[in-house]
Amino acid sequence: MYYNPYHQARQYDYQMYKRYLQYLPRQISAQQAMEIATSEVPGQVVDVDLDQENGMLVWEIEIITPQGIKYEVDIDANTGSILKIELD
C-alpha cells in the first residue's frame, strides 16, 4: 500500500476543524435542533452534525420518516431557523 502523508495531514486538519466548530458560540443545542427538525419532518433522527456553510454554523439533521424516506434538515445554529429541507 502506498503511504501518502498528504492524505494523513488532510484527515488531521479535518478532525481539528471539527473540534474547532464545537467551541464556536451558538444559541441552539443539538437537542433543540433535533426537536425543531422533527417538528417539520416527523421521523427518527439518524445523524446530527455541526458544520459551517457560507460563514455560518449550521446543524445538519438527518431524519428517516416512517415511510423510509431520508431527509436532511439544515438549521441555523444561532437562530434555530430552518434553512433547508432536502431529500438525502
Note whether residue 13 is domain-resident: no
**Which domain CATH number covers 77?**
3.10.450.40
Note whether residue 18 is domain-resident: no
Give the number of domains in the chain.
Answer: 1
Query: For residue 81, how many C-alpha atoms fall within 13 Å in the half-sphere facing its CB?
Result: 3
Look up the domain containing 34 and give its range: 26-87
d(CA 68, CA 88): 11
Note whether residue 45 is domain-resident: yes
Q: What is the pLDDT of residues 17-66, one digit of tens each?
A: 667 666 666 689 999 999 999 999 999 999 999 998 888 889 999 999 99
What's the pLDDT at 15? Answer: 73
Note whether residue 64 is domain-resident: yes
pTM of the model: 0.72
Note whether residue 62 is domain-resident: yes
Note whether residue 20 is domain-resident: no
